[in-house]
Structure 1
Amino acid sequence: MTNTGRVAVVTGGSGGIGRACVERLAADGFSVLIHFAGAKDRAEETASALTRAGVPAVAVGGDVADEAAMTAVFDIADRELGGVDVVVHTAGIMPLAPIAQMDLDTFDHIQRTNVRGTFVVDQLAAQRVRKGGSIINFSTSVTRLHIPTYGAYAASKGAVEALTLILARELRGRDITVNAVAPGPTATPLFFKGKSQEAVDQIANANPMQRLGTPDDIAETVSFLAGPARWVNGQVLHTNGAMA
């Protein structure tokens, strides 16, 4: 791995899609700050493995919706890694229930983490990311698929898309791209949780590619947006194998 001197902050970087993004960006030559909310051991294990491989990396915890906690995350990126060039905001939660049955406290928790959390991270990114950098948010293909029980989650990701498209235009003249990645069903522990093998197979076969996405599929799109994709700006990239 040849370090380029560029620095990426990846929220939710301790597992699943987030960890795949961390590893891909490290392979692309980025130093990486691995943010975590609860999985401290996994984040620190990833950071240690990258450090042993010669990649500057640090694991830092914090609530994405807490502006003080996330300011501290960006401060550590500045102090220990030398700045911020790319922010990949994968952190989010996905409790599911029919709209008629969802507890409003759960609904509020989803919006706080997914919407306020994105606003807090994007606000700091807009202030800290250097010229030539990228801000990459995460939406979902469920905003197109309209699957029952995903109402609160899809609503939060619709807000993420709106924030993404507006911020791209607000950063006019800064040479900073702002985009969102909208994965389809992806083979992560979060996806498999609570699903039977029959349900998993049915979802996989519904895709024209006849499989689930993988975290590496999504990380490839992030790598593109973080690197060569300088003319892709203010877009939502549905990375789903034509699922929607």
Structure 2
Amino acid sequence: MTTLPLAGKVIVLVGASTGIGADAARVLAEDGAALMLVARTEEPLAELTKELTAAGHDVAYTTGDVAKPADVAAFVDATVTRFGRLDGAYNNAAMGGAGRLDAVSESDFDQIMAVNVKGTWLCIREEVRVMERQGFGSIVNVSSIGGLRGSSGMGAYQATKHAVIGLTRTAAHDFGPLGIRVNVIAPGPTESPMLTELRRTIPGGVEARIAATPLRKAGTGAEVGATAAFLLSDRASHISGVVLPVDGGFLA
């Protein structure tokens, strides 16, 4: 029998309730991972956990807000309590936002920074706390092609995604000597509730990007999840500090 690439691995998936996160959960579970699913809202987490458990996968869930340090520490500890260790983490929680930089309110700017940047940092900090004791681990963060270039109308969001790449590269240096790999995925337009909202707030913007993509299509959450599964697996054992676009060739 062929061994599944994530068989025996315990992974916490943060931002798992809908969209790319939920699709990634299905991929990671099919690849053999035991999963702790985390998001702020319980109902969709419970439904996804029920779906995956019924399919024979080892999955649990807990709620938490990545912008709150106590919540992040609690869901990392809950993962270790439930499964005994933490082999990998997929930090996918984020919020979107559109608008010219001078039109973004201070409160909206603070909120997106708290979730996308501070939240990623808090996740890394707490995940490393466990992984350092073990002497191993793999962390995958989620940025965006907007973290590798600029464009009009999404300045605050893109600033956060540039920051996630900076956090990841620094973390790869800080924690590599501890046996911990840290990488980041940069999706292009990917079918999700966030993309649906962008179609509403920036009319024509999504379709223009898809038209400029060599593969001429938006990605799927499963495609992003498969990329995360590779980076979390031992097949990527000598890969750290990498920014991997999943964008259909948009940045080529």
Which of the five TM-score ranges fits, normalised by the shorter chain? over 0.9
Alpha-carbon distance, 1:132 to partner? 4.0
Confirm whether residue 117 of structure 1 aligns to residue 119 of structure 2. Answer: yes
Confirm whether residue 230 of structure 1 aligns to residue 237 of structure 2. Answer: yes
When residues 118 and 198 of structure 1 are mapped into structure 2, their CA distance, relative to the original with a 3 A threshold, is closer
Correspondence for 1:107 among 106, 109, 124: 109
1:36 maps to a residue whose letter is A
Q: Report the TM-score when normalising by structure 1.
A: 0.94
Structure with the bigger percentage of helix = 2
Q: Is the 8 A contact 1:14 1:36 kept in 2?
A: yes
C-alpha distance in 1 between matches for 2:38 and 2:9? 17
C-alpha distance in 1 between matches for 2:110 and 2:198? 22
Q: Which residue of 2 aligns with 1:29?
A: 32
Correspondence for 2:220 among 180, 191, 214: 214
Q: Which structure 1 segments of 5+ residues have no match?
A: none
Alpha-carbon distance, 1:187 to partner? 0.9
Q: Is the 8 A contact 1:77 1:83 kept in 2?
A: yes
Q: Which residue of 2 aligns with 1:98?
A: 100
Alpha-carbon distance, 1:241 to partner? 1.3
Correspondence for 2:175 among 171, 178, 198: 171
Number of positions where the alignment pairs a residue of Structure 1 with one of Structure 2? 243
Any idea what the Cα deviations from partners look like across 1:62-81, whole Å, max 9, x if unmatched?
A: 11011111111011111112
Q: How does 1:37-48 map to 2 (within 5 A)?
A: 37-38=40-41, 40-48=42-50
Alpha-carbon distance, 1:199 to partner? 5.0
Q: How does 1:188-207 map to 2 (within 5 A)?
A: 188-193=192-197, 195=199, 199-207=205-213
Q: CA RMSD in A?
A: 1.8
Alpha-carbon distance, 1:173 to partner? 2.7
2:14 maps to a residue whose letter is T
Any idea what the Cα deviations from partners look like across 1:102-144, whole Å, max 9, x if unmatched?
A: 1111001111111110111000111113444210011110133
User: How high is the sequence identity, in percent, across the aligned residues?
Assistant: 29
Q: Which structure 2 segments of 5+ residues have no match?
A: none
Confirm whether residue 19 of structure 1 aligns to residue 19 of structure 2. Answer: no
2:36 maps to a residue whose letter is L
C-alpha distance in 2 between matches for 1:209 and 1:122? 33
C-alpha distance in 2 between matches for 1:5 and 1:131? 17
1:205 maps to a residue whose letter is A
Q: Report the TM-score when normalising by structure 2.
A: 0.91
Q: Is the 8 A contact 2:121 2:167 kept in 1?
A: yes
2:112 maps to a residue whose letter is I
